[in-house]
């Protein structure tokens, strides 16, 4: 049901005509994220500039039972912000102020629309940074809503672990500020971590106080090649087990390595599974000793090549290549679309899931680019296909399904960092069992009219 005119007028009245649109180009821009999920147009888009405006918008939508979907940068990979029931999209990108940097407390207050790359650029002059890095140009609000993590979660934690305080607009328009500015607390129920990762279905997060980290003065990286994915993933599992604390520990499958060689000028790796490992710290000698331990573990596992002593510039290029991998895959297959798999397992199960993924692809004749934040058990596998080629697309869907179900059977999760959105809804019961009933009850409690990002999570 489209938004009635009287409500459209009231909603527009909140933000004014310049920050409100029902024009098709704006609706189209807010109809899809970066996933393979089908787009759906909202009825209207509003660009509030304050928590107060968000509150007014949500209050009106609640009155009219109008679906409300919050929007960050639209970089999600599971359809998380697609307004599948139409209604109003609240685009938070104009709430992009860094409100206060309290360097002595290692904290920053931001509006939800701040892009995390802009935040880290600004924080650099204070010698600080916010560690989670989803790769894409996500907003902090989107990262909080999806509990984004990325390559450095293994050392610094995911977004959820670094939230001090939130400002949240509830379904009835009420504004709450759960959390504390203290590092430690045992006070009351942890609402921050209930709203974080809730993908907008419980409330709209408009401001966030994040805990920051000092930029480590020293980095030390190594790139290691292995003959097989099994050897590479076993090595990763053993590095974690050894008690070392790498800041990043990435796995890149053979096919993905081939694309890095092809699309970068700098690199010409052996066409074999790669492991990137990186340490952050204050003391180069200590880190070098840690890296030496890594070398021993790699060699015991049959590493064919161990390249350490990578300079600052080469390291930056290496991470660029890692981040651009998704783009390289798209460039390799013009006209095709990716179906990205995101799943995570306990670290000892990494070799199993990698082997399972490889076998599945081989069996079905599909090229799946396996890579991921393997040090935290998180595996991605984009597969390319034409959504209109129903037969092939069905095979991709089947592989996706089998891999996620296998991950859950290993004690893992349907999604390591992309969130549930549309794509992972079907696995919620398998993963959570009767805990799902409690989640649904909480949703119903906090959003009794079901207006907040409807059609998502469950």
Within 162-191, the residues that bind a second copy by CB under 8 A are: 170, 174-178, 180-191
Q: Among residues 395, 446, 451, 452, which is the contact residue for a second copy, using CB under 8 A?
A: 446
Interaction pattern, residues 302-321, with a second copy; x per rule: CB under 8 A: --------------------
- CA separation for the pair 290, 450 (Å, rounded): 51
- CA separation for the pair 333, 336 (Å, rounded): 6
# residues near a second copy by CB under 8 A: 102
Closer CB to a second copy, 28 or 409, in the complex: 409
By three-state DSSP, how is residue 105 classified?
helix
* E-strand stretches of 97-217: 98-102, 107-111, 128-129, 163-169, 175-176, 204-211, 213-214
**Considering only 88-96, 258-266, 321-329, 420-428, which stretch makes contact with a second copy by CB under 8 A?**
420-428
Look at residues 45, 41, 43, 28 and name the one whose alpha carbon lies nearest to residue 84: 41
Residue 348, Ramachandran bin (φ over 0: left; ψ between -120 and 50: alpha; else beta)? alpha
- Tokens 């087990």 correspond to 241
68-71 and 88-91: which strand pairing?
Answer: parallel
125 binds a second copy (CB under 8 A): no
Q: Among residues 28, 282, 386, 409, which is the contact residue for a second copy, using CB under 8 A?
A: 282
430 binds a second copy (CB under 8 A): no
Backbone angles phi and psi of 363, in degrees to 5: -60, -40
Closer CB to a second copy, 62 or 146, in the complex: 146
* E-strand stretches of 361-425: 371-372, 378-385
Q: Among residues 93, 432, 449, 450, which is the contact residue for a second copy, using CB under 8 A?
A: 432
Please state the closest distance from residue 340 (CB atom) to a second copy, in A: 13
Interaction pattern, residues 197-236, with a second copy; x per rule: CB under 8 A: xx---x----------xxxxx-------------------
- CA separation for the pair 119, 133 (Å, rounded): 11
Q: Among residues 124, 305, 331, 441, which is the contact residue for a second copy, using CB under 8 A?
A: 441
Closer CB to a second copy, 330 or 428, in the complex: 428
157 binds a second copy (CB under 8 A): yes
409 binds a second copy (CB under 8 A): no
Please state the closest distance from residue 393 (CB atom) to a second copy, in A: 24
- CA separation for the pair 121, 137 (Å, rounded): 13
Q: Among residues 139, 146, 206, 225, which is the contact residue for a second copy, using CB under 8 A?
A: 146
Ranges within 42-71 binding a second copy (CB under 8 A): none
Closer CB to a second copy, 88 or 163, in the complex: 163
CA distances from 330 to 188, 337, 391, 394 (A): 47, 7, 20, 20
Closer CB to a second copy, 292 or 307, in the complex: 292
Classify residue 386 by its DSSP letter: -
- Sign of the torsion angle spanned by Cα atoms 253, 255, 258, 260: negative
Ranges within 95-124 binding a second copy (CB under 8 A): 102-107
């Amino acid at each position: 049901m489209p938004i009635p005119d009287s409500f459209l007028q009231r909603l527009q009245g909140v933000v004014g005509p310049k920050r409100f649109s029902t024009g098709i180009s704006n609706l189209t821009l807010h109809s899809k994220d970066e996933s393979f999920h089908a787009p759906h147009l909202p009825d209207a888009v509003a660009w509030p500039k304050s928590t107060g405006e968000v509150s007014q918008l949500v209050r009106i939508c609640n009155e009219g039972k109008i679906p409300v979907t919050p929007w960050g940068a639209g970089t999600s990979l599971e359809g998380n912000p697609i307004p599948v029931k139409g209604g109003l999209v609240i685009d938070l990108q104009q709430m992009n102020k860094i409100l206060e940097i309290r360097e002595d407390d290692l904290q920053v207050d931001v509006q939800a629309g701040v892009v995390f790359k802009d935040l880290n650029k600004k924080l650099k002059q204070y010698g600080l940074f916010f560690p989670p890095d989803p790769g894409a140009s996500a907003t902090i609000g989107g990262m909080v809503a999806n509990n984004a993590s990325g390559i450095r979660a293994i050392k610094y934690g995911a977004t959820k672990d670094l939230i001090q305080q939130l400002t949240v607009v509830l379904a009835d328009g009420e504004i709450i500020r759960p959390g504390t500015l203290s590092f430690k607390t045992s006070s009351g129920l942890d609402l921050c971590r209930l709203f974080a990762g809730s993908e907008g279905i419980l409330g709209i997060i408009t401001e966030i106080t994040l805990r920051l980290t000092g930029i480590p003065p020293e980095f030390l990286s190594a790139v290691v090649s292995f003959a097989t994915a099994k050897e590479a993933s076993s090595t990763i599992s053993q590095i974690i087990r050894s008690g070392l604390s790498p800041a990043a520990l990435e796995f890149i499958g053979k096919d993905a390595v081939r694309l890095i060689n092809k699309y970068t000028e700098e690199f010409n790796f052996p066409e074999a599974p790669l492991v990137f490992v990186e340490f952050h710290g204050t003391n180069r000698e200590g880190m070098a000793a840690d890296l030496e331990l890594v070398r021993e573990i790699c060699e015991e596992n049959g590493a064919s090549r161990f390249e350490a002593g990578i300079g600052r510039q080469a390291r930056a290029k290496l991470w660029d290549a890692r981040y651009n991998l998704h783009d390289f895959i798209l460039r390799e297959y013009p006209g095709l679309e990716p179906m990205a798999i995101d799943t995570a397992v306990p670290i000892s199960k990494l070799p199993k899931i990698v082997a399972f993924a490889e076998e599945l692809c081989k069996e079905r004749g599909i090229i799946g680019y396996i890579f991921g934040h393997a040090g935290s058990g998180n595996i991605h596998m984009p597969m390319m296909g034409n959504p209109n080629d129903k037969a092939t697309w069905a095979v991709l869907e089947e592989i996706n399904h089998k891999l996620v179900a296998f991950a859950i059977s290993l004690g893992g999760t349907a999604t390591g960092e992309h969130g549930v959105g549309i794509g992972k809804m079907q696995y919620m019961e398998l993963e959570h069992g009767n805990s799902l009933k409690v989640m649904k009850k909480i949703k119903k409690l906090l959003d009794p009219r079901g207006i907040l990002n409807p059609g998502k999570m469950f």
